[in-house]
Amino acid sequence: MTNPNSAENRVQKVAVLGGGSFGTALANIVAANGHATTLWFRDRERAETCERTRENANYLPGYRLHDNLRISADLVESLRDVNVVVVVIPSQSYREVVRQAAPYIRPGTMVISATKGIEAPNFTLMSEILAEELKNVQIGVLSGPNFAKEIVQNQHTGSVIASDSDDVLAVIPKMFSSKTFRVYKSRDRFGIELAGAIKNIYAIVCGMAAALGTGHNTHAMILTRSLAEMGRFANKLGANAMTFLGLAGVGDLILTCSSDLSRNYRVGYSLGSGKTLEQTLAEIGQVAEGVNTLQIVKKKADELGVYMPLASGLHAILFEGADIGRVVQGLMTGAMASDVEFI
């Protein structure tokens, strides 16, 4: 028999920090589930417009937000007496916002990171920033093959919440649960978060390959060799490579490497079409985490001596002036590697 007073069945007071597409989609799900939810924007004018029009026209145009969702640019008020904070801020400004929020987050609060990125120069994951900047909170990571546009269209979607907190694993799946959004559980916070961050590199590779006119054979090879690189890198860092076979690993990899809804895929397609990185990023107009992540991962892989030919080849094209054709030929004539590792 369900206990209505148990933690997972209580109405939560929630703040979602970050008014981009994914933050908006997540906040809307929680609000639709009856929780007192505030979506925080850094830009006051955008927040006021969104609150008035009930639409995030910059990121999810044409989609009406739930009446139960409040939008605000007042960080202090947004965080007042909340039980759950969901942080969906781009990695480059993630620490800054968390540091601003820290004085207003109560001990015991569940703080969930939904940003897929890595902070330079110390290879710091977003949940590690939370641990450094916040005291006595319960940390979790939400990650998976989740395009915001399809979430708000009620397309069936799966995600993963990873935490070492029993409360987080009990509350968050229920809080986000809907007829079309299902959240699975994991204890491997590091592996789930690492998978979500580094797969963005390979979405750029696949977008570039598509622009160059490659076929299904090539796409399948890139996907599987990308997964091998991800697992090899994760294993060296101490993560469980098996985590990469789940939704946050291979699931997210397939999604972002196969659709132009992925910003990172679009970056690769634009580059493969002959545009410069600067032109590409200006045209996309949103943060593509894979570009930043590529530089950080390449540096770390070199330090650890991890063989990552796809990431290294992409880095050579983007930042070392290498010719795409020569890099591709080098990948096809490199050292013969084992197909499947860790067996």
| CATH number reported for the structural domain that contains residue 261 in this entry | 1.10.1040.10
To the nearest whole number, what is the mean pLDDT of the chain? 92
Helix, coil or strand: residue 339: coil
Residue 337 forms part of a structural domain: no
> What is the spatial distance between Cα 12 and Cα 15, in angstroms, rounded to a whole number?
10
Local confidence band at 182 (pLDDT 50, 70, 90 cut-offs): very high
Range of the domain at 18: 7-187
Residues 172 and 28 in one domain: yes
Band of residue 1 on the pLDDT scale cut at 50, 70, 90: very low
Please check whether residues 255 and 215 belong to one and the same domain.
yes
Active-site positions read 199
- CATH number of the domain that residue 17 is part of: 3.40.50.720
Looking at the structure of the chain, the number of domains it has is 2
Q: Which pTM value belongs to this model? A: 0.91
Report if residue 92 sits inside a domain: yes
pLDDT band with cut points at 50, 70 and 90 for residue 51: very high
Whether 2 maps to a domain, the answer reads: no
* Residue ending a domain, choose from 187, 209, 232: 187
Backbone angles phi, psi at 258, to 5 degrees: -130, 5
Q: What integer is the mean pLDDT of 253-258? A: 95
Output the six-digit token pair for 135.
Answer: 């005291």
Give the contacts of 156 (CB within 8 A, at least 6 positions apart).
Answer: 180, 182
